[in-house]
Structure 1
C-alpha cells in the first residue's frame, strides 16, 4: 500500500506534542495564524487523501470506467475494502462537517436575535442576572455581552481590562479563526489538540492586546483570573475571557514577554514542515492516480483505433 496515503492521516497524531512545543515559543499573534493555518492544511490534506482513495475504488466501477474512457483491467491494483472504508468515513465526516456548520449558523442567528432584544451602549450589552458571564458576539458589527453579575465581581480597572479583551476579539476577527479551527477539528478529530492550542493562542492574543491597551499586565491578569473564577465557560461558539487554560494565561501575563527569535523560527519551521509534508504527499498521490488513469486509457483508445466499426469498415 502506498505510504503516501497514511502520511496526511497520521501526521495529526503529532498535534499535541507539536502544540506544546510551538505555543509557548511564538508570539500569540504568530501562533494563532500558524496553528490555524496548520489545522486547515492538515484537515484538507486528510480529507483529500480519503477522497483520492475512495475515488480509486470508484474507478473500477464499469459505468464510471466507461464514462472516463479507461480500462479497469489496465489500472494498478486497488485495495477495494480500504476504498470502501474511506468512502464511508468520508461520508460520515462530511455529515459531521455539515452538521457543525448548520449548528454554527443557527447559533449565530439565535444569539443575534436574543441580543437585539437588549439595548446596546457603545457595542456593550448589559444582561440582567446574577450569573457572571461575558463574551463577544460577531453579529451586527460585533457586540459584547456582559452580565451584571460579572460587573459586580470585578473592580473598575478590571472591567476595563475585560472589555478591552473582548473588544480585541472583535477587532482582530478572532471568530473567523474560531470557526475555521472548529470545522477543521470536525473534519479530522485527531486535530483537536492542535485546534485547542490555536484557540488558546487566540485568547493569549486578546490578552496581550488588552494589556497593551490598558498599559498594565497585572490588571489584565487579575481580570482574567477573577472572571474565570466567577464565571462559566463561554456559550456555544463564542469567545470569552474565561476560555482556555486560565492559569497559563495568567502566568504569561505576569511574566514579561521574552524575545526568543531562534526558538520561534524553529517552531515556525517545524509547523510549516509538517503541513508542507502533508500537502506534498497528497499532491503526489493525486499525480500518481492521474497518471494511472491516463495509462489505462491507452488500451481503450488503441482498441478503438485498431478495430473500427464494422459498418464503417465493410458496409460502405
Structure 2
C-alpha cells in the first residue's frame, strides 16, 4: 500500500497544483506584466496537462499488465509487477479510460481548431487588403486578427465610423500586436492543455486576459495615451462586436477590467511570477519522479525474468 500511496501522491500533485494555480491565475494575470503573465500562465497550464496525462497513462499501463499481457513486453514479470504495484485491475482500467478520454478531448479540440482556422483563412483571403489590413463593408462594428500564413487584421467600416482617428490607430495597433507577438499560439496552447486536463481549464480565461492586456500595452505605446486606448475599447465593446471564438478581438474579453487597468495601472508584484514558476517546477519534478519511480518497478520486474 505504501507504493500505491507514493504513486497516487505523485500523480495528484499536478492535479492539485493545477486547481490551486487556476484559482490564483486571474490575480496573477493582473499583477504581472502582461507578456510575462502570458508566458508563465501558458507554461503552467501545459505543464499541468502533461504531468496529469503522463501520470495517469503510465500508471494505467503498468497496472493493467495482467489484463492485457500481449500489449506489454514479454520480459516483464507479471507477479513482480502486481506485487510491487498492487493496483486492482478495475482501477487501472478506469484510470486508463480516463487518460484516453482526456487525450480524445484534446484530439477533437485540435481538429476543430485546425478546421475553423482553415475556413476563416480561406474566407479572409477573399477580402481586399492593403498589406495586413482588410477593410470589409459592414455596418456592424467588428475588428479581429486572423493569424497564419495570410494573416490579416480585419475591421469593418461600421467600426471605423464609430471611432475617431486616434482611437482607430489604437484599435489597429492592438490587433497588429496580436499578430506580431503570435498571441493565438498562447491562447490555443492553453485551450489544448485544458482539453487534456480539466484543472488547466481554469487558467484559460486568465491567459486571455493577459494576452489582451499585452496588446493594450502595445496600443498605448503606438498612440502614447492610455485614455485613448481605453475609449476605443469602451466604444468597441458597446457596439457588441461579433468575433469568431477562435480569433482575437480588442473588445472581446475582460473589457471593464482592462479599461480600469489602463486608467489606473495595478501595482506589479514579482512574487506572483515567482509562485507560478515554483508551481510549474513542482509539477515537472513530480512528473519526472513518478516516471522514474514506475520505471524502477519495471526494471525490477525485468530483472526477475532475467530480461
TM over 0.5: yes
**Partner SS, residue 136 of structure 1:** strand
Task: Tell me if the contact between 1:40 and 1:181 (Cα under 8 Å) persists in the aligned partners.
Answer: yes
CA–CA separation in structure 1 for the residues paired with 2:285 and 2:46: 15
Moved >6 Å (runs of 4+): none
Task: Tell me if the contact between 1:28 and 1:202 (Cα under 8 Å) persists in the aligned partners.
Answer: yes
Alignment RMSD: 1.7
Within-5 A mapping of 1:1-80: 1-2=4-5, 3-60=9-66, 61-65=68-72, 67-75=73-81, 76=84, 77-80=86-89
Task: Tell me if the contact between 1:56 and 1:78 (Cα under 8 Å) persists in the aligned partners.
Answer: no
Task: Tell me if the contact between 2:21 and 2:279 (Cα under 8 Å) persists in the aligned partners.
Answer: no
Can you give the 5+ residue segments of structure 1 that lack an aligned partner in the other structure? 303-316
Alignment partner, residue 157 of structure 2: 148
**Partner SS, residue 139 of structure 1:** coil
CA–CA separation in structure 2 for the residues paired with 1:59 and 1:288: 17
CA–CA separation in structure 2 for the residues paired with 1:299 and 1:139: 54
Q: What is the deviation of 1:78?
A: 2.2
CA–CA separation in structure 2 for the residues paired with 1:73 and 1:192: 39
Within-5 A mapping of 1:104-115: 104-115=113-124
1:121–1:95 CA distance, 2 compared to 1 (3 A): same
Q: What is the deviation of 1:34?
A: 0.6
CA–CA separation in structure 2 for the residues paired with 1:82 and 1:254: 54
CA–CA separation in structure 2 for the residues paired with 1:215 and 1:103: 39
Can you give the 5+ residue segments of structure 2 that lack an aligned partner in the other structure? none
CA–CA separation in structure 2 for the residues paired with 1:55 and 1:64: 9
CA–CA separation in structure 1 for the residues paired with 2:48 and 2:56: 12
1:90 to 86, 94, 99: 99
Alignment partner, residue 169 of structure 2: 160
Alignment partner, residue 211 of structure 1: 220
CA–CA separation in structure 1 for the residues paired with 2:281 and 2:255: 32
Task: Tell me if the contact between 1:130 and 1:148 (Cα under 8 Å) persists in the aligned partners.
Answer: yes
Alignment partner, residue 295 of structure 1: 300
Alignment partner, residue 290 of structure 2: 285
The worse-fitting range, judged by mean Cα deviation, of 133-142 and 285-294 is 133-142
CA–CA separation in structure 2 for the residues paired with 1:130 and 1:48: 50
Alignment partner, residue 314 of structure 1: none
Alignment partner, residue 231 of structure 2: 222
CA–CA separation in structure 2 for the residues paired with 1:63 and 1:139: 44
The worse-fitting range, judged by mean Cα deviation, of 210-219 and 56-65 is 56-65
Task: Tell me if the contact between 1:55 and 1:83 (Cα under 8 Å) persists in the aligned partners.
Answer: yes
1:270-316 deviation per Cα after TM superposition (whole angstroms, max 9, x unaligned): 111111111211211111111111111222229xxxxxxxxxxxxxx
| TM-score, normalising length: structure 1 | 0.89
Task: Tell me if the contact between 1:150 and 1:231 (Cα under 8 Å) persists in the aligned partners.
Answer: no
Q: What is the deviation of 1:43?
A: 0.9
Alignment partner, residue 137 of structure 2: 128
CA–CA separation in structure 2 for the residues paired with 1:118 and 1:140: 15
**Partner SS, residue 91 of structure 2:** helix
CA–CA separation in structure 1 for the residues paired with 2:20 and 2:80: 38
Task: Tell me if the contact between 1:125 and 1:146 (Cα under 8 Å) persists in the aligned partners.
Answer: yes
| TM-score, normalising length: structure 2 | 0.91
CA–CA separation in structure 1 for the residues paired with 2:22 and 2:97: 27
- Aligned residue-pair number: 297
**Partner SS, residue 140 of structure 1:** coil
Alignment partner, residue 190 of structure 1: 199
Greater gyration radius: 1
